[in-house]
Amino acid sequence: MVELRRVTINGNHYYYLFHEIRENGQFKKFRHYIGAQEPDNAMQQKLERDFMEDIKNNPDKYSPKEKQNIIAVLQQIMEKENYISEENFVRLSSELDIPLVNLVGVATFYSQFRLTKPGKHTIKICDGTACHVKNSAALRVFLEETLDIKSGQVTKDGNFGLEVVNCIGACARAPSMMIDETVYGKLDKKKIKEIIGTYK
């Protein structure tokens, strides 16, 4: 089945068709960039038919050969800027002569790449097993309400970004979170509020 997916980079939308098959026990993913406009139903059906036909005849077209190079370049940008801006995508595309669609396709495939500007402080609330059984989900909701954002977003003033992660290596002190490089454990709502206050 083909899915229509939307990727948003710095407020701009990019639409892809996405298809996944299992072949010899491995999952193969195919992406096809279709533009910045959401297609209507008739157009979407046509695009999906063409996409499926093309995958049969030319599967490599949707698995960029330059993938390893692209990953290396994107990692460099992440090291310097901590996210990949739309300007950087466009600049790389033209300087390296790699189609924009390939760059964005690789960047959105791997969770190591961030496409939005991070907050001044990054809060990582853990929802790994040890934290989950100690009610970390309720703490995540509390953080979202306190900061007035959802996980994955940045506060309006740019001070905090919130992420949910799997384990920060502080299971013995669960439930835990990190702010930047500092780990906080044995959390409850009162303690979270106090900690947040020290970063304002």
Q: Is 107 or 131 the residue whose CB approaches ligand FES more closely?
A: 131
Task: Answer yes or no: are the C-beta atoms of 161 and 117 closer than 8 Å.
Answer: no
Among residues 117 and 189, whose Cβ is nearest to ligand FES? 189
Rounded to a whole number of angstroms, the minimum distance from the CB of residue 133 to ligand FES is 9
Binding status of residue 174 toward ligand FES by CB under 6 A: yes
- Burial-class residue 145 by CB neighbours within 10 Å (0-12, 13-18, 19+): exposed
Distance CA 32, CA 39 (A): 13
CB of 125 to ligand FES, least distance (A): 9
| CA angle centred on 155, ends 180 and 78, rounded to 5° | 50
Q: Which of 74, 168, 178, 192 binds ligand FES (CB under 6 A)?
A: 168
Nearer to ligand FES, 84 or 162 (CB): 162
The residues in 38-97 that bind ligand FES, with binding defined as CB under 6 A, are: none
The yes or no reply on residue 176 touching ligand FES (CB under 6 A) is yes
Which region, judged by CB under 6 A, interacts with ligand FES, from 23-31, 62-70, 110-118, 164-172? 164-172
Element at 45 (helix H, strand E): helix 41-57
Q: What is the side-by-side strand order in the sheet with 3-9? A: 3-9, 12-23, 26-35
Asked if 170 is part of the footprint of ligand FES (rule: CB under 6 A), the reply reads yes
Residue 96 corresponds to which amino acid?
A: L
Q: Which of 17, 84, 126, 139 binds ligand FES (CB under 6 A)?
A: 126
